[in-house]
Structure 1
Amino acid sequence: MVRQNTQRRTALLDAAVDVLAREGARGLTYRALDGAAGVPAGTASNYFANRTELLAQAAAHVYVRLAPSDAVMAEMAAQEPSREVVRRAMHELYERITADGAGYLALLELRLEATRRPEVRAAVAERIGRDIHANIGFHVEGGYPGGRGAVVALYLAMTGLMVERLTLPEAWEWTGFPALIDELVGIILPE
């Protein structure tokens, strides 16, 4: 078996996320990936046995890119659970996703591809399901206001808000997204 370079694998996965965001799932070919990563032709095929494996690994990697840092999670956990802490967490989420818009667009592209390919669906659904349950657990077990229903509503609201922000922000030019976050938190977690 050929020994693989983990830094090169990470660079390939980062490039795969960027290609997914820019070209869509159908544009993610070995050739496109090699070009985007700036590696010799044929390199990607040495790291990913087939396209399904590439898409599944890209799905896992996009979560690495989009996840909050350990410091952010520790800071949130160290504070007394409150509506204000949740509000700040939603703003941090917005800033993090906005900073890596390609990562979030790639995740949306993987979700769409999952509707067409059962093998991709299994990987994407497992990862997203795990993330949803982790968010619910953190909120409920942490004693944040609103319980399970509130965190589910916030998840769905923020998912929609991020889709709008990254795909058609000009449709929302009449308002600022940070102000919308404050409104959403206020509606979902009234004082």
Structure 2
Amino acid sequence: MNDRRTLLLDAALELVGTQGMRGLTHRAVDAAAGLPPGSTSNHFRTREALLLGIVERFIVRERAMATGPRDEVDPTPEGVAAALGRFVDRALGPDRMVTLARYAILVETAQHPELREGMAAGADRVDTWTLDLITRAGSRSPDRDLGLLANYVTGLVLHELALPSPDLDAAARIRRVIDTLGWTGRATS
């Protein structure tokens, strides 16, 4: 992704995260990015194109929230719990605006079915990556566990956004879920 496009999409994420979908206009993104008027529309001709670009960008940003700068996760139960815990911590802290934007876009997608295909494609990329990771980490039922873990983490983040726990240890909570699922700690055949 070129630097200007990334700058625009990060500005758009920040706008949606702080102002909701009503704050998302091409002109507002230009201003938030500190770029000349028309910059956003040069890259994203329509609001739908801009929303799909935002989806692509938040998927990249969310993966980095879990993996860190090395873009890798130790394929063990501990490594997966640590990565998902890191994701939760960042989703509630330094990347809170990305998280709020993600939820706003999910609601927008529910109201505008034309966005579902782009959102589903992004979700498929995340699911493929995560399914491989949890399989290597020893899940005995990767398809089941992917859904359970994804829904647990999503619910945990949503709950903590609204009602924060002062002493949240997300990695420990996630590790307890993994233990309950009975992972072996190594890939099974």
TM-score (norm 2): 0.81
Q: Which residue of 1 aligns with 2:105?
A: 110
8 Å CA contact 1:114, 1:120 repeated in 2:
yes
1:86 match: secondary structure: helix
Distance 2:147 2:113 in 1: 25
> Which aligned pairs between 1:88-99 and structure 2 lie closer than 5 A?
88-98=82-92, 99=94
Q: Tell whether the 8 Å contact from 1:150 to 1:189 is kept in structure 2 after alignment.
A: no
Shift of 1:48: 1.0
Q: Deviations over 1:53-112 (max 9, x none)?
A: 000011101111121346251x514xxx3x323322322222343331211221111111
| Equivalent residue, structure 2, for 1:154 | 149
Cα shift at 1:39: 1.6
- Are residues 111 and 23 of structure 1, via their aligned partners in 2, closer, same or farther at CA, if it must alter by over 3 Å? same
C-alpha separation between the residues in 2 aligned to 1:85 and 1:63? Answer: 20
User: Residue 138 of structure 2 aligns with which residue?
Assistant: 144
CA distance in 2, matches of 1:190, 1:95: 23
Which residue identity does 1:10 align to in structure 2? T
Cα distance in 2 for partners of 1:108, 1:39 equals 26
Residue in structure 1 matching 2:29, options 30, 33, 42: 33
Matched, 1:176 2:168: yes
Contact kept in structure 1, 2:85 and 2:174, CA below 8 Å: yes
Alpha-carbon RMSD across the aligned residues, in angstroms, is 2.5
Larger radius of gyration: 1
Counterpart Cα distance in 1 of 2:137 and 2:168: 30
**Separation in 1 of the partners of 2:175 and 2:68?**
22
Q: Amino acid of the residue matched to residue 84 of structure 1?
A: E
Distance 1:70 1:182 in 2: 22
Amino acid at match of 1:123: G
- Percent identity, aligned pairs only, is 27
| Unpaired runs of at least 5, structure 2 | 185-189
- What code does the residue aligned with 1:94 have? V
The 2-side partners of 1:186 and 1:116 are apart by 37
Partner of 1:71: 70
Shift of 1:14: 0.5
Deviation at 1:38, TM superposition (A): 1.3
Out of 154, 158, 163, the position equivalent to 1:163 is: 158
Q: Does 1:47 align with 2:43?
A: yes
The AA in structure 2 aligned to 1:59 is: V
